[in-house]
Structure 1
Amino acid sequence: MTVQPSDTRPQSPAAAPLPVLLVVYGRGSATPRGILGAARRLCTVVFLGDLGDPKAAADLAGLPKSATVVDTAGLTEEQLVERAAGFGASGVITFSDHLLRSAAAVAERCGLPFHDRATVEVLVDKFQQRAALAAAGVQSTVCRTVRSAADLAPALAATGLPAVLKPRSGAGSVDTCLVRSSDELADRYAEFTTDATTPAVFVLEEYLVSDPTVVGEFWGDYVSIESAVKDGEIHTVAVTGKLPLAHPFRETGYFTPALLPDGLAEQVVALERSALRALGIREGVTHTEIKFTPDGPRLIEVNGRLGGHVSDVLKRSAGTDLLLLALRLALGDFTPPAPVLALGAACPAVAFQYFLSPPADGLAPGGGELIDDLQAVPGVDLVDARIDPTWRANWRAGTEWLIGTVYGSAAGYAELRTTVEGIHRRMDTFWS
């Protein structure tokens, strides 16, 4: 791995036979090795990463010596974009929500396609996103900002109960919870902010009530839509199904294609497209979550980057490599794939990921040969788990607070349900 220090100007890799892609890197929906694998024979990747961030540094440290990493620690935005401009890149991308602003700045300086700065603001700011969607007539969802404890009562008066408290900017359901009383709201807000190293702004928004009859109580009451946008034209790539959330809003698994009644895929795609247009999205891969409610499909949120985990399940079910598609799109080398909306000739199997996450706090890994037991469940192809006896559950850490992932596939949804039930039974005896 070649690390370019932040105080020396890089030389443009003009002699490189492949176009250069700048990856503004932070922990997110794609790993450095996954990016390099997808980029093979497509482009030369230059990682712009803050090596002062322990997680990013650990990820990038595992790259081969031939990889190029620019340490962005301590750089101002102006310094960052000037360094990036020296590479003569053909594209820029990020897989991390908190780096969308940096990637937009690099794209603007280098004249590359990406979300513009105004679009990034409504993508990373949940309050602004709700306001933009309401202003465009797409969906009105009551949402209020909370900057201090004094804001809690007025916010709750607007949203009513129950309500959802979450960071104004964030991902992975970190510090996100449902509150059912004013006392619970005050307690949770104090818990989230007491030890915060930097002042955090939260939002309180109305809870979107579930309609479990749409897809059945065994399955999650929401889906995500994966799209690729080029020059403002939206191309649907897939609709991803979900397993039910764990307390309070932790995702427990994905599967592709989604299990939906006739006509519902078209409804959620239409809602998603209205949202993307309302937010001004003209370039890039998007990941939009939509919930089924008694009032019909409702938007949870729009993300301006590749969704976590979805590239794997889509590739194994339909052969569509969404990570590769995202790289090609960033480079301007884009051919829209056929959308994956249901099982059929183009998508002959259901692929899934099941997250090994505890049902509640205070739990620790139990005994037994977990990996061997799970591997024996019909439909399971791979178990990637790290059993640490010192590990303890913490719901505040959101989706990432898990001990591993189960990968598998099934011929249909009945078979998928049988497999998931087999995993459930084994995991019920694992947590102590």
Structure 2
Amino acid sequence: MAHPALPVLLVVHDRGSASPLRILSAARGLCRVIFLHEAEHPAPSAELAQVAGHAEAVDITGLGEAEVCRLAGSLHPAGVLTFSEYRLRLTAAVAAYCGVRFHSRATAQALTDKYRQRQALGEAGVQRTGCVPLRHPDEAAAALARVGTPAVLKPRHSAGSVDTCLVASADECRARLAEFTGGAHRDFVLEEFLPGDPARTGPGWADYVSVESLVVDGEPRTAALNGKPPLVPPFRETGHVLPAPVPPALAAEIVRLERAAVRALGIRHGITHTEVKLTPDGPRIIEVNGRLGGYIAEIVQRRTGYDMVAAALRIALGLPVTSPDPARLYGEGVTFQYLIVPPTGPLRPGPPSLLDDLGTLPGVDLVDVSPPAHWHTGWRRGTTGAIGTVYGSAADHTELRALLDQVRARLDRFWRGTHIPHTDAPHTDVPHTGIPHTELPQASVRWPNSTD
């Protein structure tokens, strides 16, 4: 447990971008963390159980917002934050009640409501994007007439591309909305589709990037600009590439747009994760997220040694915060994470042992996989349906593109249940590195019960 003399930081915990163990590690010697959580939620509660005896936790199950705020106030916090999209509004309410730094209630509303965010960006003159709210399949035709085809259908309040798809007709939109809502009342938006320009990043890369920023007293400071491998249909993210494969002039244009969006939404303190589409007409905002992005802290720390979780804690406490070293951020080499996302359509995956072969590829440092016991991980789950992550690095973007081609080829064999022949000879499909394949260290492959 942290020393009682340290300032108290409340963390409203739920599914998000930092585990309790990671948060406690960053808080060591800095603050005393108290987690507010709902014990009835199994996954976040299991994470807290892993640090039982080392973490203070308060169960807020069944409490209304006002009750949570009063409880939080009784703990006399010096700061409050969350790493979960689903807890931004509650955290904003607690911060307002306790008089500490976080998003205002209005900002949290705009950050978690895709329709309201589009309105705010349009009203501020940052970007006007067609966006119409809808709840019932009968509203599909009118909504589509306003935004045009094709259009993107997505939940109004969500994250991770869950239940997100492209629709090309009123009938398709009506059918998808009926499928997603299942007859229940659930808010969606239909958005103008932003066409991408593949030439902006070059072949082999997605046509969008993400900007990670530290916001202190209303001023955003760029921490990283991440590129992306191609999406898995319909809109499922497959990882991050640092630095992004974009020229400096385009990077500067992206950052200018991102900073304008952050300011327009009234973000004063915290970390933001902003996705930007690279279109023929220039960069366009996909969405601004008012918290640390998933997997972002890990790739930034591997690349630069900079701890974004610790930075989030320091900002919440009002302490000075530095930024990642640009020399390390944009120096030689490329760092990557590749999410193992199931393809669209029926699956006939082979045994998990087929994934072991990913670790033999030069440039792969770690393969962290947790295949489900029963394959019910369809595309509607978005990025949350990923079964693992491949971590590594390459000399440059060209070498990394060749490496990811090999990763995808071997994953395709896994999804089709095709055995990979093993011989004593080196693989012939590895990129040239100047080092014989047999002399390269093999990456570790971590399975759910591994102690690596």
TM-score w.r.t. the length of structure 2 is 0.89
> Which of 387, 402, 407 in structure 2 is aligned with 1:418?
402
Deviations 1:195-227 (A, max 9, x none): 65xx21100011001111111130011000011
Question: d(CA) in 2 for partners of 1:237 and 1:226?
Answer: 5
**SS at the partner of 1:145?**
strand
**SS at the partner of 1:302?**
strand
Question: d(CA) in 2 for partners of 1:57 and 1:66?
Answer: 14
| Residues 389 and 99 of structure 1: CA distance in aligned 2, closer, same or farther (over 3 Å) | closer
Pick which of 295-304 and 31-40 moved more: 31-40
- Native 8 Å contact 2:355 2:414 kept in 1: no
> Which of 366, 371, 376 in structure 1 is aligned with 2:350?
366
TM-score w.r.t. the length of structure 1 is 0.93
Alignment of 1:85-96 (within 5 A): 85-96=73-84
**SS at the partner of 1:429?**
helix
Equivalent in the alignment of 1:126: 114
1:30 aligns with 2:14: no
State the AA in 2 paired with 1:223. V
1:222 aligns with 2:208: yes
> Which of 282, 286, 294 in structure 2 is aligned with 1:296?
282
State the AA in 2 paired with 1:427. L
State the AA in 1 paired with 2:55. A
Pick which of 317-326 and 249-258 moved more: 317-326
Deviations 1:131-186 (A, max 9, x none): 11111111010000002123211110001110000011110000110001221111
State the AA in 2 paired with 1:357. V
Question: d(CA) in 2 for partners of 1:215 and 1:396?
Answer: 27
- Native 8 Å contact 1:164 1:177 kept in 2: yes
Alignment of 1:150-161 (within 5 A): 150-161=138-149
**SS at the partner of 1:213?**
helix
- Native 8 Å contact 1:235 1:336 kept in 2: no
1:375 aligns with 2:363: no
> Which of 117, 125, 128 in structure 2 is aligned with 1:140?
128
1:49 aligns with 2:33: no
1:263 aligns with 2:249: yes
| Residues 126 and 346 of structure 1: CA distance in aligned 2, closer, same or farther (over 3 Å) | closer
Question: d(CA) in 1 for partners of 2:234 and 2:153?
Answer: 11
Deviations 1:328-376 (A, max 9, x none): 1111112231464xx7686443211111111213214213623420110
- Native 8 Å contact 2:152 2:166 kept in 1: yes
User: How many residue pairs were aligned?
Assistant: 416
- Native 8 Å contact 2:143 2:190 kept in 1: yes
Deviations 1:250-304 (A, max 9, x none): 0011111111023011000000011011111111110100001111100000000
State the AA in 2 paired with 1:233. E
> Which of 176, 189, 195 in structure 2 is aligned with 1:188?
176
**SS at the partner of 1:313?**
helix
State the AA in 2 paired with 1:243. P
Question: d(CA) in 2 for partners of 1:19 and 1:349?
Answer: 39
- Segments of 5+ residues of structure 2 without an aligned counterpart are 417-452
Question: d(CA) in 1 for partners of 2:228 and 2:413?
Answer: 23
Equivalent in the alignment of 2:383: 399
1:111 aligns with 2:96: no
> Which of 153, 170, 178 in structure 2 is aligned with 1:165?
153
State the AA in 2 paired with 1:67. A
Give the drift of 1:29: 1.2
Deviations 1:26-65 (A, max 9, x none): 1011111111122122211100001112222222222231
Question: d(CA) in 2 for partners of 1:339 and 1:220?
Answer: 26
- Native 8 Å contact 1:362 1:393 kept in 2: no
State the AA in 2 paired with 1:405. T
Question: d(CA) in 2 for partners of 1:339 and 1:417?
Answer: 25
